[in-house]
Amino acid sequence: MKITAIALAGGKSSRMGSDKALLEIKGETLLSRTSHIALLVADSVYIVARSQQQYQHLTTNHLKSIHLVVDKKLDGALMGFWQGIQAIANSPPDWLLLLACDLPNIQSDILQTWASQLDNLPQTAIAYLPHHVESDSNQSPKQWEPLCGFYRWQCQASLAEVIEKGERSFQKWLDTQEVVEIPYVPLDMLFNCNTPHDFLKAVQSKSQSSSLL
């Protein structure tokens, strides 16, 4: 089974106030950690970003396994995913591992476990994703976590259709598709850093984990 990873680093980081992909925990940026963990599951990683200069060091150090896809007019996560798919269209994998750049608690062993389960999914399923229940009653009771999971390569057909219609919402696209829920996902695995408070919490968590070793 061939798996290729796509890491999204093209967000504006407006709530963080600085590029969260380049925030460091224990001397390693969030994007670098995400890319290195992805390589333990996938054969290569394609980083989708708005510019090249900030992330060039990653591709320099891993010339054959980490690639940079630049889109200066990147329009949201769904389009970032699409740009990544386009970049690997000449060598399509069986599955895509899609990750946000700001997931400080992702674990390679859990991702590998999920990957080992892909062969058991129905052929009609286009994705294998976690989900969470929104506390806001105005929201759908099932909200997929689209930026920490696997997508079958064939998902590109329906994705192309919704993008052509102007859709930019992951949730609305996934609601029209067959998606299999990943069971028993650790809640901290899905924690992401959107604000300085989130990042401080992640740093403190890592420090506490180290002190227990």
Task: Quote the pLDDT of residue 17.
Answer: 56
Task: Please report how many Cα atoms fall inside a 13 Å half-sphere around the Cα of residue 29, on the Cβ side.
Answer: 15
Over residues 99-117, mean pLDDT? 94
Collect all residues with Cβ–Cβ distance below 8 Å to 12 and sequence separation of at least 6. Answer: none
Helices (H), 1-132: 30-38, 56-61, 76-87, 108-116
Task: Quote the pLDDT of residue 198.
Answer: 76
Higher pLDDT, 176 or 196: 176
Task: Quote the pLDDT of residue 138.
Answer: 53
| pLDDT of 124 over the 50 cut | yes
| pLDDT of 77 over the 50 cut | yes
In whole angstroms, give the CA distance from residue 122 to residue 106: 26
Instruction: Give this prediction's pTM.
Output: 0.87
Task: Quote the pLDDT of residue 197.
Answer: 77
Q: How confident is the model at residue 84 (pLDDT cuts 50, 70, 90)?
A: very high
In whole angstroms, give the CA distance from residue 54 to residue 93: 27
